[in-house]
């Protein structure tokens, strides 16, 4: 249960074997490469292996295949959620993906699909243009004559246009006062009036009309029609209908390609695997005929890697390896834990992977996470329900690895939830009367004491891990300075406060007081030991000692154990009270009460699990990890790209 031991290797192979080696390494998913840099003195005979030009075309094909997938997914006949979960995603190896991708006629299929989509977009644009034209002409549909013919009159001038409705009456009144001028309104639409201004074509009248048009924000419209406006609209609508029929035909053509969706997905995912191999080459340096590769391999897999090298190169290789140094920041991190602890690894990954010189915190925080989350949910009914659901899902549904880990994680949390639910006597609140060892709604002080006690154990355990790491690294004084003095100060403060509050014997009080004082003195004298000047050492020491006040906040944080347990219990009890009242109202009340019970208990269970997940993570990350864990490790980079369509596994 720890970080997987890594070995660093240097490998020399013939350049001609490079491609086959990368394929084999990807299939086995064994190594992580280092990006080698060429020293200035070696630049005459070493060069960086360039990224192949093939990558440009490959990226284009990946982009095009993803475009086809996104387009065709709209037409995919998807199974129901339950069927999808039962069937799960198909599983492929990289070799199987390659064979399937080879058989798929991508260029032909993509070319046809792109042509159909271009035609579809063209037809859509034509329909949109015609609809826009219809909207432009519709206010003028009552004009019986051709507007372009009206504009040809010599003695009468006509100006089509629109005006905001709020200015209409003033405009109509003002234009009526001009001799030989009038306004004809044909339509009112969207707070705009559409009409034509008619006036006698002579200079004075034209000047007056032009001024009114400017003052009243009358906007001139250029209406071009080949005939009567109404006839033009009818003709456009007929053309729209024809284009919509054409669009349906094109849509059916695109829809017919939905059967090729699997092929596009297989090709897309295979090319992503190939892309990883091509990019990996850029980590290498080479001479004229030899590639030089540096990387890491799990120590337990060295013999497997050696066999692979022999097979691929026919023995034409040279390599050296040594156990990776704990000081090496580039060592990739893989975690290896037992079946139970593996379920909690995602919490470590979510925060940050440990550095190679640290310890894997997963088995250390997992028991606390198990206990704390169970207390926060604290209902045997919720735990039993979720446990049954998650175990059935794991047994009968084909889940991908990430989902399977999450479901299994929740399943283990449900065991703790059932245990603490029985301790609290809670089964869907008080729906079923159970004997309680602790009643959270009555035993407030006991719940507070238990929360603080568990918090103290959690914090002191975290400090103990820090002491262990210092002792392991032979930093014995650091273990005393950074942990021993803090144990003295914090435990002394706790004993002193309890002794004063409970009026215990002066001996106990003095033990607590002097433990606190000596611990603080030790912290002040050693907290700034890495500084240069005496003043800086003392200043940082005092600042470190001030940190004891943060322990008050740390301990208070654990009261959320009690708070969340109470919150969930009270909501469940309130729901049950409402249900009991409804049950006394006859058959309708029983039906309504049953519905309310199911809906609100499920909702409360969901909230309880979500709250427990978030708040237990907070106690782990902020209170526990803050005491000993740095993180910042580099995760082991898989040579197999994750897929949203398939499960891709090693061979």
- Return the pLDDT at 1: 57
Helices (H) and strands (E) in the chain, counts: 25, 16
Return the bridge partners of 528, or none.
none
- Tell how strand 285-286 and strand 156-164 pair up: unpaired
Tell me, rounded to whole angstroms, the distance of Cα 113 from its chain centroid: 32
- Per the model's pLDDT, the better-predicted residue between 391 and 161 turns out to be 391
Output DSSP code: residue 633.
B
Q: Is the dihedral of CA 344, 345, 346, 352 positive or negative?
A: positive
pLDDT > 70: what percent of the chain?
97
**147-224 CATH pick, 3.30.1300.10, 3.40.1710.10, 3.10.150.10, 3.30.70.2750:** 3.30.70.2750
What distance in Å separates the CA atoms of residue 233 and residue 133, rounded to the nearest whole number?
A: 8
Q: Taking 70 as the threshold, does the pLDDT of residue 436 lie above it? A: yes
Cβ 205 vs Cβ 180: under 8 Å? yes
192 membership: H or E segment, kind and range: strand 192-200
Q: Taking 90 as the threshold, does the pLDDT of residue 269 lie above it? A: yes
Reading the block at residue 111, the tokens are 């070319």
Return the bridge partners of 33, or none.
295
What is the crossing angle of helices 18-28 and 261-280, to 10°?
Answer: 120
State mean pLDDT over 397-425: 92
Classified as helix, coil or strand, 169 is helix
Reading the block at residue 489, the tokens are 């100060």
What distance in Å separates the CA atoms of residue 137 and residue 224, rounded to the nearest whole number?
A: 9
- Asked if the domains at 2-49+284-334 and 147-224 fall in one CATH topology, the answer is yes
Q: Taking 90 as the threshold, does the pLDDT of residue 90 lie above it? A: no
- Return the pLDDT at 48: 82
In which band, very low, low, confident or very high, does the pLDDT at 261 lie, cut at 50, 70 and 90? very high
Output DSSP code: residue 325.
P
What distance in Å separates the CA atoms of residue 411 and residue 421, rounded to the nearest whole number?
A: 15
Q: Taking 80 as the threshold, does the pLDDT of residue 87 lie above it? A: no
For the stretch 311-320, pLDDT in tens is: 999 999 999 9
In the chain, where are the structural domains located? 2-49+284-334, 147-224, 339-628
Q: Cα(first)–Cα(last) distance of the chain, in Å?
A: 25
The side-by-side arrangement of strands in the sheet containing 156-164 is 181-189, 192-200, 156-164, 219-220
What distance in Å separates the CA atoms of residue 291 and residue 48, rounded to the nearest whole number?
A: 9
What is the crossing angle of helices 444-472 and 362-377, to 10°?
Answer: 170
Q: Is 10 exposed, middle or buried (0-12, 13-18, 19+ CB in 10 A)?
A: middle
Number of other residues whose CB lies within 10 A of the CB of residue 134: 17
- Return the pLDDT at 149: 67
For the stretch 587-641, pLDDT in tens is: 998 999 999 999 999 999 999 999 999 999 999 999 999 999 999 999 998 888 8
For the stretch 115-154, pLDDT in tens is: 999 999 999 999 999 998 888 787 777 777 666 666 667 7
Cβ 381 vs Cβ 425: under 8 Å? no
Looking at 307-378, which runs of residues are DSSP E strands?
Answer: 317-323, 332-333, 335-336
- Tell how strand 47-48 and strand 2-3 pair up: unpaired
Q: Taking 80 as the threshold, does the pLDDT of residue 226 lie above it? A: no
Looking at 474-609, which runs of residues are DSSP E strands?
Answer: none
- Per the model's pLDDT, the better-predicted residue between 368 and 504 turns out to be 368
Write b or e for each residue in 516-534: b if 16 or more Cβ atoms lie within 10 A of its Cβ, otherwise e.
beebbebbbebbbeeeeee
537 membership: H or E segment, kind and range: helix 534-546
Cβ 164 vs Cβ 219: under 8 Å? no
Cβ 634 vs Cβ 330: under 8 Å? yes
Reading the block at residue 424, the tokens are 């609290």
- Return the pLDDT at 147: 66
What distance in Å separates the CA atoms of residue 209 and residue 275, rounded to the nearest whole number?
A: 71
What distance in Å separates the CA atoms of residue 312 and residue 228, rounded to the nearest whole number?
A: 80
Phi, psi of 425 (to 5 degrees): 65, 35
Q: Taking 80 as the threshold, does the pLDDT of residue 82 lie above it? A: no
- Per the model's pLDDT, the better-predicted residue between 108 and 549 turns out to be 108
For the stretch 326-363, pLDDT in tens is: 889 899 999 999 999 999 999 999 999 999 989 999 99
Cβ 354 vs Cβ 342: under 8 Å? no
Q: Is 37 exposed, middle or buried (0-12, 13-18, 19+ CB in 10 A)?
A: exposed
Q: Among all chains, which residue has been given the structure tokens 């238990």?
A: 450
State mean pLDDT over 388-413: 91
Lowest mean pLDDT among 206-215, 350-359, 487-496, 564-573: 206-215
DSSP characters over 393-449: HHHHS---HHHHHHHHHHHHHHHHHHHHHHHHT-BTTBTS----SS-TTT-HHHHHH
Tell me, rounded to whole angstroms, the distance of Cα 62 from its chain centroid: 23
Q: Is the dihedral of CA 422, 427, 430, 433 positive or negative?
A: negative
Write b or e for each residue in 232-245: b if 16 or more Cβ atoms lie within 10 A of its Cβ, otherwise e.
bbeebeeebeebee
Reading the block at residue 641, the tokens are 């790209």
Q: Find the length of the chain.
A: 651
Cβ 466 vs Cβ 482: under 8 Å? yes
- Return the pLDDT at 35: 85
Mean pLDDT score across all residues of the chain: 88
In words, the CATH class of domain 2-49+284-334 is alpha beta
What distance in Å separates the CA atoms of residue 23 and residue 251, rounded to the nearest whole number?
A: 40
- Return the pLDDT at 145: 65
- Tell me which residue of 379, 376, 375, 371 sits closest to 601, measured CA to CA: 379
Cβ 418 vs Cβ 388: under 8 Å? no
What distance in Å separates the CA atoms of residue 232 and residue 133, rounded to the nearest whole number?
A: 10
Q: Taking 90 as the threshold, does the pLDDT of residue 162 lie above it? A: no
304 membership: H or E segment, kind and range: helix 302-313
Kindly compute the dihedral angle of the four CA atoms of residues 202, 204, 210, 211, in this order, to the nearest 10 degrees.
-170
In which band, very low, low, confident or very high, does the pLDDT at 295 lie, cut at 50, 70 and 90? very high
């Amino acid at each position: 249960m720890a970080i997987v031991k890594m070995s660093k290797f240097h490998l020399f192979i013939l350049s001609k074997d490079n491609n086959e080696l990368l394929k084999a390494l990807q299939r086995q998913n064994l190594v992580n490469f280092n990006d080698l840099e060429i020293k200035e003195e070696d630049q005459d005979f070493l060069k960086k292996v360039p990224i192949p030009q093939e990558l440009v075309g490959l990226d284009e094909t990946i982009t095009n295949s993803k475009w086809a997938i996104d387009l065709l997914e709209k037409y995919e006949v998807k199974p129901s959620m339950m069927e999808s979960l039962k069937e799960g995603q198909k599983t492929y190896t990289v070799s199987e993906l390659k064979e399937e991708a080879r058989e798929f006629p991508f260029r032909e299929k993509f070319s046809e699909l792109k042509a159909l989509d271009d035609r579809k977009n063209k037809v859509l644009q034509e329909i949109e243009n015609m609809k826009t034209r219809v909207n432009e002409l519709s206010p003028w549909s009552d004009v019986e004559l051709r507007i372009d013919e009206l504009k040809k009159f010599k003695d009468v001038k006509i100006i089509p246009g629109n005006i905001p409705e709020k200015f209409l009456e003033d405009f109509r009144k003002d234009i009526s006062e001009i001799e030989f001028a009038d306004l004809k309104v044909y339509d009112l639409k969207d707070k705009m009036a559409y009409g034509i201004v008619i006036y006698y074509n002579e200079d004075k009248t034209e000047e007056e009309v032009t001024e009114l048009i400017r003052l009243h924000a009358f906007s001139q419209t250029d209406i071009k029609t080949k005939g009567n406006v109404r006839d033009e609209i009818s003709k456009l609508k007929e053309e729209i209908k024809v284009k919509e029929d054409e669009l349906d035909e094109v849509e059916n053509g695109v829809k017919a390609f939905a059967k090729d969706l699997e092929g596009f997905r297989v090709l897309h995912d295979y090319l992503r695997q190939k892309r990883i191999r091509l990019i990996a080459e850029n980590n290498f340096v080479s001479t004229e005929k030899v590639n030089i590769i540096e990387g890491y391999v799990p120590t337990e897999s060295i013999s497997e890697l050696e066999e692979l090298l022999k097979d691929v190169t026919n023995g034409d290789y040279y390599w050296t390896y040594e156990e990776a140094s704990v000081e090496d920041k580039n060592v990739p991190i893989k975690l290896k834990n037992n079946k139970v602890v593996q379920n909690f690894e995602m919490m470590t990954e979510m925060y940050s992977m440990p550095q190679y010189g640290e310890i894997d915190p997963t088995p250390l925080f997992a028991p606390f996470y198990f206990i704390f989350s169970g207390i926060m949910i604290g209902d045997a009914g919720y735990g039993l329900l979720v446990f049954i659901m998650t175990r059935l899902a794991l047994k009968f549904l084909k889940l991908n690895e990430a989902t399977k880990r999450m479901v299994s994680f929740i399943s283990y949390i449900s065991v703790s939830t059932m245990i603490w639910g029985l301790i609290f006597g809670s089964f869907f609140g008080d729906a079923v009367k159970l004997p309680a060892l602790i009643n959270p709604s009555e035993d407030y002080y006991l719940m507070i004491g238990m929360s603080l006690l568990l918090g103290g154990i959690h914090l002191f355990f975290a400090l103990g891990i820090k002491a262990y790491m210092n002792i392991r690294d032979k930093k014995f004084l650091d273990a005393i300075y950074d942990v021993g003095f803090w144990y003295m100060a914090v435990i002394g403060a706790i004993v002193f406060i309890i002794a004063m509050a409970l009026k215990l014997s002066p001996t106990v009080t003095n033990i607590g007081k002097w433990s606190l004082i000596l611990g603080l003195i030790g912290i002040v004298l050693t907290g700034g030991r890495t500084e240069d000047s005496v003043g800086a050492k003392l200043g940082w020491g005092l600042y470190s000692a001030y940190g004891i006040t943060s322990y008050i906040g740390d301990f208070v944080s654990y009261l959320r154990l009690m708070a969340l347990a109470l919150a969930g219990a009270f909501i469940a009890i309130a729901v049950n009270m409402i249900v009991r009242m409804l049950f006394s109202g006859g058959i309708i009340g029983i039906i309504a009460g049953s519905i309310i019970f199911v809906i609100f208990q499920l909702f409360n269970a969901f909230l309880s699990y979500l709250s427990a997940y978030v708040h237990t993570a907070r106690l782990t990350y902020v209170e526990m990890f803050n005491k000993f864990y740095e993180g910042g490790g580099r995760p082991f980079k898989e040579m197999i790209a994750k897929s949203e369509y398939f499960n891709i596994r090693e061979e």
